[in-house]
């Protein structure tokens, strides 16, 4: 083919040919010419699975898009150009999301081929590699190709570039995360490996397993860029943010928003004749899209940006299954970490001047009855399935101007209030944002300490209480903010109060105020909306906050199961399969958040606050405390640099300080006061529309929308069931999911109550939790043989579960006290005798008892009988009969007879073998006589002298004398 399509300059040609015309001109190419590229596309499916950077300017208001309802329109202040929602009439073929991509490269361009989940529709994206540094040229092809047409197109590109190295496959990928520029050229960040972690409504959610940063320059320019030390250092900092840990995305479900928002927005869109935004990533919540900055170049130069690019969620996501007598119920826990004011623990405290708080995390638990998969109800009622419920909680740092200066020499740095604001403007912005996202009321659960010897947390308690009281007194309805302060740490250390019982009471009050979200339609399945949210905080929003959120979430889980008709009572007991499963989920949830913010796992877990397994829990807590201290002291600065670079808080500019030269990143997270145009009122600090009561639009049936197929509105069927894929059960996500059904047998193999709501142990009973531990004084005149049961050896062996049997704390105190009494008062009548002492466990013996037992070993009758049975067991085994073997194989008989003396005597050797052997035995002492090569002969002589004990220097001197 005469024309080189790769080197065609589309920028200079006023009428560039469309790719459809290119494909028409290439129709003469044989289908088999480039079939290897077509096969590469299919093979990858089986594996599973000029923009100039400007300073990142925050808007003057923290609100961009409403997060709680559908009636609110976007607020000014967004800094990106997003595509509008498509009308249903604009997409006559329905929804076809691209989910598989192949990156090809030539000497001057990148080609990205995208295909849908069924490998029926293909599209192409071109990226020019020859543009000037700092520029980006992307050509998006709107033509949809078939598999044969794509093969011909790739073959034509291959033929047009044979003189320049041809067309090569760079990698298979699963989506584009965006584009970033450090000092000169752009890089494209792509997903190369992923794994399924959850499924909602037939839409899969994935976690990133591997990424690749692809430079958008030619191979020659790449070598020059490698020599740039500043570029290399920026890339090193960028790589410090591990994108394979707790980063998630989805092709067809908006995970940046809550289920309540997605379903209400979908209903509103259908009512207005628009494509449901839940099936598109264009309406993502930029607060939780961590690659929002990386998407800006794509939004500027691409028309259908989110056909190729994916918003990225950071936080935590887990999904597990409750099996209720075979009825599957999925529990999904999603934590969304805000990208605003994000960073490490001691470097990000309190709030900035835009109302964003540190460690801002939105936690949502979704409980769904999976007898039906989709969000749609029977009868063609779109997004009206009553099988889905959810509940949302929020955590975040105290919205005041405060900080802590980390120091390796001070484990607990003092807390400093940096600015005393009598109008609490940062807190006002923060609570107005919460009203916008969740509605009213906002329940503030403050768990910081109230009394301390050296005031630290208590300094913030007084200031935060004053701030909340000031703000709520100005509201039209003072009950829109409910404030509850409770010193959880003090209660946990007391003996006469129960932390969990107090949290259960708080959880009940919270859920009466907010309710849960339960989707539905009509009078038979009335819909419930969650109005408001519980905002929980301690000083770090980690340990105490996670425990409190777990208890509130457990109570909400009971209400969700009741709403689905699973249980009659909305209360779940502890130590059931359901409670244990939910506890593990929240423990992993808290660990992930703690690692991201504090650098270690949770220090205090639910076991700590329930006061079970205290000995093992205490040692673990100490280790995690040390890890957190180490990371905060030595690793936080590196993590903060990586976060600032990835989020676009820092953008390289000539003449400005480098990222690693900044003494503080304060100015990267706070707006320039000179750019603030309109200041908010100190009295009317809220937005009226944010306090309006949320409503959900009615459902829309397919009959009202021309009776089109369900796939026209939601492509869940082909994504979830994959009708053209051949798979096995171990590869199916629903089969591999953790479930309560796997815990239906006891350690001894016996069946137990199959109900996941049956209590498995009594460690969580109220009576046992409230039993006070103390020292029991024993009467030394009483014969302990009547009180203490004889202990067997099996008590100290590992049980069937791999754990060790432990005595209660009270029994240990009894034994210890008994030993001390017997040692000090040996002549008391009726005291414990020597034989009684020997019944004590070995770890409580005195030194005299250990010596006596070693010199006079003894075993019980039962142990003796067991040992004799073990020793004589092989003697009682029946011998294997051998008389029944007839016509054994000849080779086996020869093998058995080869060891007999007669067989060994008949062994003989050939003359050739003897000659070879004698040549080795009769070798001359001068074994280098036959070596002809002079260098080889010198090496042999050197080695011969080395064996004789001569050094290499001496050998060198002798050779020079002889020479």
- DSSP labels, 215-281: E-S-HHHHHHHHT-HHHHHHHHHHHTS-TTSSEEE-SSS-TTS-HHHHHHHHHHHHHTTB--GGG-S
Query: Which residue do the tokens 């807390």 mark?
Result: 415
Task: Extract the runs of DSSP E, i.e. beta strands, from 473-624.
Answer: 481-485, 517-518, 533-537
How far apart, in whole angstroms, are the C-alpha atoms of residue 359 and residue 538?
A: 11
DSSP 8-state symbol, 364: E
Task: Supply angle C-alpha 228, 229, 230, rounded to 5.
Answer: 95
Query: Which residue in 695, 362, 334, 329 sits closest to 528, CA to CA?
Result: 695
Query: Which residue do the tokens 């935004």 mark?
Result: 277
How far apart, in whole angstroms, are the C-alpha atoms of residue 501 and residue 493?
A: 14
Six-digit token string for 208 = 């990133």
Q: Strand 442-446 to strand 481-485: parallel, antiparallel, or no bridges (unpaired)?
A: parallel
pLDDT of residue 707: 62
Six-digit token string for 409 = 């020499």
Q: DSSP of 8-69, one letter per residue?
A: --TTT-SSPPPHHHHHHHTTTS-GGGGHHHHHHHHHHHHS---------PPPSSS-SS-SS-
Q: DSSP of 749-788, one letter per residue?
A: S-B----TTSB--STT-HHHHTPPP-PPPP-TTS-GGGTS
Q: Within 13 Å and on the Cβ side, how many CA atoms surround 700?
A: 24
What number of other Cβ atoms are within 10 A of residue 937's Cβ? 14
How far apart, in whole angstroms, are the C-alpha atoms of residue 582 and residue 588?
A: 10
How far apart, in whole angstroms, are the C-alpha atoms of residue 519 and residue 386?
A: 5
All residues at 6 or more sequence positions from 369 whose CB lies less than 8 Å from its CB, including other chains: 327, 328, 329, 387, 564, 565, 566
Through-space distance between the first and last CA atoms of the chain, rounded to whole angstroms: 71
Residues 647 and 296: beta-carbon distance below 8 Å: no
Query: Which residue in 339, 290, 341, 284 sits closest to 312, CA to CA?
Result: 290
How far apart, in whole angstroms, are the C-alpha atoms of residue 158 and residue 14?
A: 25
Encode pLDDT of 255-291 as tens digits: 999 999 999 988 888 888 777 766 566 788 999 999 9
How far apart, in whole angstroms, are the C-alpha atoms of residue 365 and residue 393?
A: 9
DSSP 8-state symbol, 731: G
Query: Which residue in 365, 373, 383 sits closest to 201, CA to CA?
Result: 373
Give me the count of residues in the chain.
963
What number of other Cβ atoms are within 10 A of residue 947's Cβ? 8
Per-residue burial over 73-92, b if 16 or more Cβ lie within 10 Å, else e, is eebeeeeeebeebbebeeee
Average pLDDT by stretches of 10, the chain with 963 residues: 39 38 35 37 40 37 42 38 56 68 92 88 92 88 90 91 88 94 92 94 93 86 70 90 93 92 88 71 87 93 89 95 92 96 90 93 95 86 91 96 79 85 92 94 94 86 94 92 92 84 93 94 87 94 93 95 91 91 93 88 79 62 63 74 92 87 84 71 91 84 71 77 80 84 62 82 50 50 47 40 42 41 39 49 72 78 84 69 66 78 76 82 62 73 74 66 58
Query: Which residue in 631, 626, 627, 590 sits closest to 609, CA to CA?
Result: 590
All residues at 6 or more sequence positions from 249 whose CB lies less than 8 Å from its CB, including other chains: 175, 191, 194, 205, 206, 208, 255, 310, 311, 312, 313
Six-digit token string for 345 = 């623990």
pLDDT of residue 676: 65
Residue 955 sits at φ, ψ, to 5 deg, of: -65, -35
Task: Supply angle C-alpha 127, 132, 138, rounded to 5.
Answer: 20
Query: Which residue in 118, 104, 117 sits closest to 40, CA to CA?
Result: 104
Query: Which residue do the tokens 């249903």 mark?
Result: 88
- Sign of the four-CA dihedral 536, 537, 540, 546: negative
Query: Which residue in 759, 769, 331, 325 sits closest to 572, CA to CA?
Result: 759
Query: Which residue in 521, 247, 223, 564 sits closest to 391, CA to CA?
Result: 564
- Sign of the four-CA dihedral 934, 936, 937, 938: positive
Q: DSSP of 79-114, one letter per residue?
A: -S-PPPPPBGGG-TT----EEEEEEEE-SSEEEEEE
Residues 290 and 339: beta-carbon distance below 8 Å: yes
How far apart, in whole angstroms, are the C-alpha atoms of residue 287 and residue 77?
A: 13
Query: Which residue do the tokens 């290499």 mark?
Result: 952
Residue 961 sits at φ, ψ, to 5 deg, of: -65, -45
Q: Strand 442-446 to strand 533-537: parallel, antiparallel, or no bridges (unpaired)?
A: parallel
88 to 92, 93, 94, 273: CA distances (angstroms)? 7, 10, 8, 6
Query: Which residue do the tokens 């015309």 mark?
Result: 21
How far apart, in whole angstroms, are the C-alpha atoms of residue 579 and residue 575?
A: 6
All residues at 6 or more sequence positions from 260 whose CB lies less than 8 Å from its CB, including other chains: 68, 390, 392, 517, 529, 530
How far apart, in whole angstroms, are the C-alpha atoms of residue 419 and residue 250?
A: 42
pTM for the predicted model, two decimal places? 0.71
Six-digit token string for 72 = 């609110």
Residues 18 and 26: beta-carbon distance below 8 Å: no
Q: Strand 700-701 to strand 381-382: parallel, antiparallel, or no bridges (unpaired)?
A: antiparallel
pLDDT of residue 906: 74
Residues 610 and 764: beta-carbon distance below 8 Å: yes
Q: To 10 degrees, what angle do helices 614-634 and 636-646 make? A: 70
Cis peptide before 493 (omega within 30 of 0): no
């Amino acid at each position: 083919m005469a024309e080189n399509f790769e080197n065609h300059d589309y920028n200079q040609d006023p009428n560039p040919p469309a790719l459809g015309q290119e494909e028409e001109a290439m129709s003469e190419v044989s289908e088999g010419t480039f079939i290897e590229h077509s096969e590469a596309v299919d093979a990858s499916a089986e594996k599973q699975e000029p923009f100039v950077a400007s300073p990142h300017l925050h808007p003057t208001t923290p609100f961009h898009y409403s997060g709680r309802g559908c009636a609110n329109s976007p607020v000014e202040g967004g800094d990106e150009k997003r595509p509008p929602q498509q009308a249903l009439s604009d997409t006559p073929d329905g929804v076809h999301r691209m989910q598989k991509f192949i990156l090809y490269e030539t000497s001057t361009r990148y080609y990205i081929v995208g295909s849908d989940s069924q490998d029926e529709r293909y599209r192409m994206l071109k990226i020019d590699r020859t543009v000037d540094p700092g520029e980006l040229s992307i050509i998006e092809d709107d033509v949809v190709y078939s598999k044969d047409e794509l093969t011909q197109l790739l073959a034509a590109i291959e033929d047009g570039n044979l003189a320049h190295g041809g067309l090569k496959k760079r990698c298979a990928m699963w989506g584009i995360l965006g584009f970033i520029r450090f000092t000169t050229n752009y890089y494209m960040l792509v997903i190369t490996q992923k794994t399924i972690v959850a499924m909602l409504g037939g839409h899969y959610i994935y976690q990133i397993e591997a990424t690749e940063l692809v430079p958008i320059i030619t191979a020659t320019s790449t070598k020059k860029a490698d020599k740039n030390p500043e570029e290399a250092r920026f890339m090193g900092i960028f790589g410090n943010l591990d994108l394979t840990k707790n980063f998630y995305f989805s092709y067809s479900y908006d995970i940046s928003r809550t289920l309540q928002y997605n379903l209400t927005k979908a209903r509103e869109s259908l009512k207005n004749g628009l494509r449901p935004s839940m099936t598109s990533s264009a309406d993502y919540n930029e607060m939780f899209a961590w690659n929002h900055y990386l998407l800006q170049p794509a939004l500027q130069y691409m028309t259908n940006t989110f056909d190729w690019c994916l918003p990225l969620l950071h936080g935590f996501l887990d999904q597990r299954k409750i099996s209720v007598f075979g009825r599957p119920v999925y529990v999904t826990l999603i934590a969304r970490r805000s990208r605003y004011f994000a960073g490490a623990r001691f470097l990000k405290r309190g709030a900035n001047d835009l109302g964003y708080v540190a460690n801002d995390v939105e936690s949502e638990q979704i409980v769904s009855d999976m007898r039906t998969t989709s969000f749609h109800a029977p009868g063609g009622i779109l997004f009206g399935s009553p099988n889905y419920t959810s509940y949302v909680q929020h955590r975040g740092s105290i919205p005041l101007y405060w900080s802590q200066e980390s120091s390796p020499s001070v484990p607990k740095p003092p807390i400093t209030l940096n600015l005393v604001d009598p109008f609490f403007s940062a807190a006002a912005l923060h609570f107005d944002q919460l009203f916008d996202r969740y509605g009213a009321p906002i329940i503030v659960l403050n768990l910081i300490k109230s009394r301390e010897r050296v005031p630290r947390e208590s300094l913030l308690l007084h200031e935060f209480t004053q701030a909340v009281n000031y703000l709520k007194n100005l509201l039209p309805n003072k009950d829109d903010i409910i404030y509850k302060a409770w010193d959880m740490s003090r209660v946990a250390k007391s003996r006469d109060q129960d932390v969990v019982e107090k949290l259960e009471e708080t959880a009940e009050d919270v859920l009466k105020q907010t309710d849960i979200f339960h989707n539905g339609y009509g009078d038979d399945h009335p819909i419930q909306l969650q109005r408001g949210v519980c905002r929980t905080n301690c000083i770090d929003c980690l340990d105490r906050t996670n425990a409190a959120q777990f208890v509130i979430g457990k109570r909400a889980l009971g209400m969700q199961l009741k709403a689905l008709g699973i249980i009659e009572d909305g209360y779940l007991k502890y130590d059931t399969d359901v409670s244990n499963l939910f506890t593990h989920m929240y423990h992993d949830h808290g660990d992930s958040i703690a690692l991201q913010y504090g650098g270690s796992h949770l220090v205090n877990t639910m076991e700590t606050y329930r006061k079970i397994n205290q000995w093992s829990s205490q040692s673990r807590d100490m280790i995690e405390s040390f890890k957190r201290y180490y990371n905060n002291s030595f690793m936080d600065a590196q993590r903060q640099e990586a976060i600032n670079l990835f989020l676009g808080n820092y953008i390289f500019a000539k003449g400005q300080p480098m990222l690693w030269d900044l003494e503080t990143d304060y100015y990267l997270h706070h707006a320039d006061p000179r750019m603030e145009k309109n200041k908010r009122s100190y009295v009317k600090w809220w937005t009226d529309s944010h306090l309006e009561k949320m409503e959900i639009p009615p459902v829309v049936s397919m009959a009202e929308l021309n009776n089109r197929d369900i796939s026209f509105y939601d492509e869940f069927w082909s994504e979830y069931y994959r009708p053209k894929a051949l798979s096995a059960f171990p590869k199916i996500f629903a089969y591999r999911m953790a479930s309560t059904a796997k815990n239906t047998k006891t350690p001894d193999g016996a069946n137990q109550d199959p109900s996941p709501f049956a209590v498995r142990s009594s460690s969580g009973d109220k009576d046992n939790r409230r039993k006070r531990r103390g020292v029991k004084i024993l009467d030394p005149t009483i014969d302990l043989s009547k009180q203490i049961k004889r202990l067997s050896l099996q008590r100290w062996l590992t049980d069937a579960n791999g754990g060790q049997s432990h005595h209660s704390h009270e029994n240990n105190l009894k034994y210890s006290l008994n030993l001390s009494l017997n040692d000090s008062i040996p002549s008391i009548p009726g005291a414990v005798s020597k034989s009684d002492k020997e019944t004590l466990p070995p770890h409580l013996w005195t030194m005299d008892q250990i010596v006596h037992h070693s010199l006079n070993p003894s075993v019980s009758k039962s142990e003796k009988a067991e040992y004799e049975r073990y020793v004589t067991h092989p003697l009682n085994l029946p011998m294997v009969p051998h008389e029944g073997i007839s016509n054994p194989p000849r080779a086996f008989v020869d093998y058995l007879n080869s060891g007999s003396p007669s067989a060994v005597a008949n062994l003989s050797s050939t003359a050739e073998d003897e000659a070879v052997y004698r040549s080795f035995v009769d070798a001359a002492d001068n074994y280098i006589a036959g070596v002809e090569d002079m260098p080889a002969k010198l090496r042999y002589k050197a080695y011969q002298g080395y064996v004789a004990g001569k050094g290499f220097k001496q050998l060198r001197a002798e050779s020079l004398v002889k020479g």
